[in-house]
């Protein structure tokens, strides 16, 4: 059996990296893929880092399609905006952007020196993140979504997520349902509101756009010196979706007082200053293209995406944690509780969130 060190070196050689392998660091980023910074001394003497990822093939059943999507999307952005920094994947000798061995699926990009944030105190950074995700959607507004594979079907179909939760609870393969009755009860009590965005989508009342679908603020890379957003990364789930999927998920993550898996979930809640800053940045880019109903459902989408993720964390806990990486046995349950606490606070603050959206939209449309 190869050590990880040997495996990473083998993968790097297949991506045609020459020179001395100096070692690797595990990057604590993301809840599904494994990410490493690998360090080399190149034949010309320079030290250089690369980012190597082991894509989770339980989550992404067809990773080749994921890579094809990313290629098409980044190519589209590059052709429109040649100066925009985009991700570049390295190729193997046979021109593939991945290396497959058994159930492992490896890919490699250049390492971009940058700052990333899980929690942000600086509202300027938050505003820049909102703007970066808004701009990303704009850059793809003329992209033909028929060209995209649906890498994870029904990814933000909240109705399906609820059904999956109920199926998991019924099967109860790990004997954990008794422990989570309160969480199940709460999530079922808000089911209709949580599924309202999906219902509007099914009725054709909200337009499908090409969306990022995983808009955590740590998926934006920032310039270390001036806090400028450099590039939006993690394009694994770029698929047709609703504007609210991107807006809501970003708020869920960035505007929470605590991190998404905080055991201190009594402290979870929406920081309205962060909400306003993100909204301002996001609407600066998107306000003029949103339909009235899209605008009116943005605040709601934050609740929807939070409740939806709670159903996903809880279903995973009930099933014995096959999907999300966990650091300790109750991690998915703690995540669920934190998202539920946040969802409750969002319902309390819905009026204020709606007002903040309308305010930011008015400012932008009249600007
Ligand atoms: C996963 O691995 P990461 O952090 O990019 C998940 C998202 C969740 C998120 C919660 C493909 O994203 O949907 O919102 O964890 N990605 C996938 O932290 O399921
Ligand atoms: Mg992701």
Contacts of 168 (CB under 8 A, 6+ apart): 314, 315, 318, 319
307 lines ligand 1 (CB under 6 A): no
Instruction: Give residue 1's pLDDT.
Output: 82
Kindly list the distances between the CA atom of residue 229 and the CA atoms of 42, 53, 313, in Å, as whole numbers in the listed order: 29, 22, 29
Q: pLDDT tens digits for the chain (367 residues)?
A: 899 999 999 999 999 999 999 999 999 889 999 999 999 999 999 999 999 999 999 999 999 999 999 999 999 999 999 998 888 899 999 999 999 998 899 999 999 999 999 888 899 999 999 999 999 999 999 999 889 999 999 999 999 999 999 999 999 999 999 999 999 999 999 999 999 999 999 999 999 999 999 999 999 999 999 999 999 999 999 999 999 999 999 999 999 999 999 999 999 999 999 999 999 999 999 999 999 999 999 999 999 999 999 999 999 999 999 999 999 999 999 999 999 999 999 999 999 999 999 999 987 766 6
Contacts of 136 (CB under 8 A, 6+ apart): 212, 232
Question: Any idea which ligand is nearest the CA of 212?
Answer: 2
What's the CA gap between 162 and 158, in Å, rounded?
Answer: 6
Q: Are 305 and 255 in contact (CB under 8 A)?
A: no
Nearest-CA residue for ligand 1 atom 9 is 31
Q: Are 218 and 117 in contact (CB under 8 A)?
A: yes
130 lines ligand 1 (CB under 6 A): no
With tokens 């050689």, the residue in question is 13
**Cα 363 to ligand 2 centre (Å):** 32
Q: Which domains does the chain have, with CATH numbers?
A: 4-110 (3.30.200.20), 123-366 (3.90.1200.10)
**Cα 134 to ligand 1 centre (Å):** 19
**Cα 238 to ligand 1 centre (Å):** 12
237 lines ligand 1 (CB under 6 A): yes
Neighbours of ion ligand 2 (CB under 5 A): 214, 234
260 lines ligand 1 (CB under 6 A): yes
256 lines ligand 1 (CB under 6 A): no
Nearest-CA residue for ligand 1 atom 17 is 32
31 lines ligand 1 (CB under 6 A): yes
Cα-flanking dihedrals φ and ψ of residue 239, to 5°? -155, 170
Contacts of 283 (CB under 8 A, 6+ apart): 130, 134, 290, 357, 360, 361, 363, 364
Report pTM: 0.96
What's the CA gap between 254 and 118, in Å, rounded?
Answer: 7
59 lines ligand 1 (CB under 6 A): yes
Report helix, strand and coil shares of the chain as percent, to nearest 5. Answer: 50, 15, 35
Nearest-CA residue for ligand 1 atom 1 is 31
271 lines ligand 1 (CB under 6 A): no
Burial 174-184 (b: 16+ CB within 10 A, else e): eebbeebeebb
Ramachandran category for residue 227: left, alpha or beta (phi over 0 → left; psi -120 to 50 → alpha):
left
Instruction: Give residue 367's pLDDT.
Output: 62
Task: State the CB neighbour count (10 A cutoff) for residue 335.
Answer: 26
Question: Any idea which ligand is nearest the CA of 338?
Answer: 1
Kindly list the distances between the CA atom of residue 223 and the CA atoms of 38, 46, 87, in Å, as whole numbers in the listed order: 21, 22, 15
**Cα 131 to ligand 2 centre (Å):** 19
């Amino acid at each position: 059996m190869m050590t990880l060190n040997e495996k990473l070196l083998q993968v790097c050689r297949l991506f045609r990296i020459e020179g001395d392998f100096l070692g690797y660091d595990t990057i604590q980023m993301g809840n599904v893929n494994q990410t490493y910074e690998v360090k080399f001394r190149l034949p010309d003497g320079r030290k250089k880092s690369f980012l190597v990822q082991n894509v989770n093939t339980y989550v992404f059943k067809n990773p080749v399609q994921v890579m094809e999507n990313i290629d098409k999307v980044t190519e589209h952005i590059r052709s429109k905006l040649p100066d925009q920094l985009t991700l570049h994947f390295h190729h193997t000798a046979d021109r593939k952007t991945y290396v497959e061995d058994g159930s492992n699926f490896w890919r490699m990009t250049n390492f971009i020196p940058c700052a990333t944030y899980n929690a942000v105190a600086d509202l300027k950074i938050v505003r820049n993140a909102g703007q970066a995700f808004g701009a990303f959607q704009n850059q793809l507004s003329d992209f033909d979504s028929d060209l995209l594979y649906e890498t994870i079907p029904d990814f933000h179909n909240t109705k399906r997520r609820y059904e999956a939760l109920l199926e998991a609870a019924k099967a109860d393969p790990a004997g954990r349902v008794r422990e989570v009755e309160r969480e199940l009860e709460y999530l079922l009590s808000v089911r209709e509101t949580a599924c309202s965005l999906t219902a509007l989508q099914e009725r054709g009342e909200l337009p499908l756009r090409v969306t990022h679908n995983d808009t955590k603020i740590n998926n934006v890379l920032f310039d270390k010196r001036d806090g400028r957003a450099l590039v939006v990364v993690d394009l694994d789930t770029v698929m047709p979706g609703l504007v609210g999927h991107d807006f809501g998920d970003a708020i869920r993550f960035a505007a929470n007082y605590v991190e998404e898996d905080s055991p201190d979930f009594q402290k979870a809640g929406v920081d309205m200053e962060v909400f306003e800053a993100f909204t301002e940045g996001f609407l600066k880019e998107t306000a003029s293209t949103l339909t009235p109903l899209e605008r009116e459902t943005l605040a709601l989408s934050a609740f929807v995406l939070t409740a939806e993720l709670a159903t996903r964390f809880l279903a995973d806990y009930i099933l014995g944690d096959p999907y999300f990486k966990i650091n300790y046995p109750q991690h998915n349950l703690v995540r669920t509780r934190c998202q539920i606490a946040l969802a409750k606070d969002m319902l309390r603050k819905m009026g204020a969130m709606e007002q903040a959206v309308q305010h930011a939209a008015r400012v932008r449309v009249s600007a």
